[in-house]
Amino acid sequence: MKTYSIGEFAITFGVSADLLRYYEKKGLITPHRNKENNYRYYTDADIFSLQQACVMRSIDVPLRELKPQKNPCEPNKLQSYLQERIHAIEQEIDDLNRKLIRLEVMKNVTKNACDKLNTCEEILIRPMYLLFYDDQRTANGVMLASEWMRFLPFVAFTFSLPSEALFQAGETQLFPRAGLQLVARYAESQDICLDPPAVFLTEHTGIRCVLQLTDPLCPRVSDFEPLVRFVRQNDRHPVGDMIYGVRGSDNINGQTIYYVRVLLRTQ
């Protein structure tokens, strides 16, 4: 069996002698010792351990997780570990892709917000689930929101308002209800079981617009004036609650302005 000095082993496999000593210190590779001079030497049997350590480190596997995997005589254990890492990385890629899509959506909405500002249009509102919850300020509510937000961009934080409040004379202050909205097609494709208080809204005609709010948590009826005017001028009648969500923000003269997308089902 061929043997290598530490220098030869480092040059042959493109690593530094310091890295070999570091891996030895961490127990990832165990060189032999010459009984006469106590010099390190390596054999072909050490190649597997070195290659595995280098590959694992290149995919950011922590050193503490490498040591148990260094024995090539345990293929089943190694295969199981590698499969776990593959699954974890696939999950990370999936999560990053969701975030990337959401960022692209938010970028496009923010970019076009000024062009579409205060402009109402009639659209077909696709089916959705409203995952509103009453205890959004409690620990349980926060946990529920955190769990659902893992599905971004398919879940969005939203607010709902009784549409009657917009059209009743004398109303000025509105009190929205915080919650979450889930794209129906995603829930169905993932076979997600939704229990109350989730509410399923079927496909429906409605109105969409982008408005500016200074305080989405405590809006006023006047903030939604373009929408109210459009509904009345076109002889439309609201159906159910109005839903809106923040899709971007800007700082104008030291004041934060929020761009919100509003959906109102009508008939």
Sign of CA dihedral 143, 149, 151, 156: positive
Residues in Cβ contact with 151 at an 8 Å cutoff, skipping those fewer than 6 apart: 98, 182, 186
Is residue 144 in a domain? yes
- Is the same domain home to 53 and 127? no
Give the pLDDT score at 171.
63
Q: Is the pLDDT of residue 242 over 60?
A: yes
Q: Is the pLDDT of residue 107 over 90?
A: no
How many structural domains is the chain composed of?
2
Query: 57-66, 81-90, 193-202: which range is least confident on average?
Result: 57-66
- Is the same domain home to 125 and 169? yes
Q: Is residue 226 a contact partner of residue 118, using CB atoms and an 8 Å limit?
A: yes
- Is the same domain home to 64 and 18? yes
Is residue 83 in a domain? no
Q: Is the pLDDT of residue 88 over 90?
A: no
- Is the same domain home to 164 and 42? no
CA distance 208 to 118: 10
Is residue 94 in a domain? no
Is residue 233 in a domain? yes
CA distance 212 to 258: 6
pTM for the structure as a whole: 0.58
Is residue 88 in a domain? no
Task: Look up residue 248 and give its two tokens.
Answer: 């971007």
* Residue 69: CATH number of its domain: 1.10.1660.10
Give Cα 39 to chain centroid, integer Å.
52
**Cα radius of gyration (the chain):** 30
Contacts for 244-249 with beta carbons within 8 Å, 24 or more apart?
244/158, 244/159, 244/161, 244/176, 244/211, 244/216, 245/156, 245/157, 245/158, 245/159, 245/181, 246/157, 246/216, 247/106, 247/109, 247/110, 247/113, 247/210, 248/106, 248/109, 248/110, 248/113
Q: Is residue 119 a contact partner of residue 208, using CB atoms and an 8 Å limit?
A: no
- Is the same domain home to 20 and 127? no
Is residue 143 in a domain? yes
- Is the same domain home to 49 and 148? no
Sign of CA dihedral 219, 222, 226, 229: positive
Q: What range defines the domain where residue 133 resides?
A: 101-265
Kindly list the strands in the beta sheet with 255-265, ordered across the sheet, starting from the edge strand earlier in the chain.
120-125, 204-213, 255-265, 241-252, 155-162, 177-183, 128-130, 199-201
Is residue 261 in a domain? yes
- Is the same domain home to 231 and 141? yes
Give the pLDDT score at 92.
86
Average confidence score pLDDT of the chain: 81
Is residue 111 in a domain? yes
* Residue 210: CATH number of its domain: 3.20.80
Crossing angle, helix 45-58 and helix 17-25, to 10 degrees? 90
Residues in Cβ contact with 138 at an 8 Å cutoff, skipping those fewer than 6 apart: none
- Is the same domain home to 139 and 245? yes
Q: What is the mean pLDDT of residues 81-91?
A: 84
* pLDDT tens digits along 117-129: 888 999 999 999 9
- Is the same domain home to 105 and 69? no
Structural domain ending residue among the three candidates 73, 88, 110: 73
Residues in Cβ contact with 141 at an 8 Å cutoff, skipping those fewer than 6 apart: 133, 134, 135
- Is the same domain home to 197 and 142? yes
Sign of CA dihedral 10, 12, 15, 19: negative
Q: Is residue 153 a contact partner of residue 105, using CB atoms and an 8 Å limit?
A: yes
- Is the same domain home to 215 and 159? yes
Q: How many of the other CB atoms lie within 10 Å of CB of 156?
A: 22
Give the pLDDT score at 134.
62
Q: What is the mean pLDDT of residues 45-72?
A: 71
- Is the same domain home to 115 and 207? yes
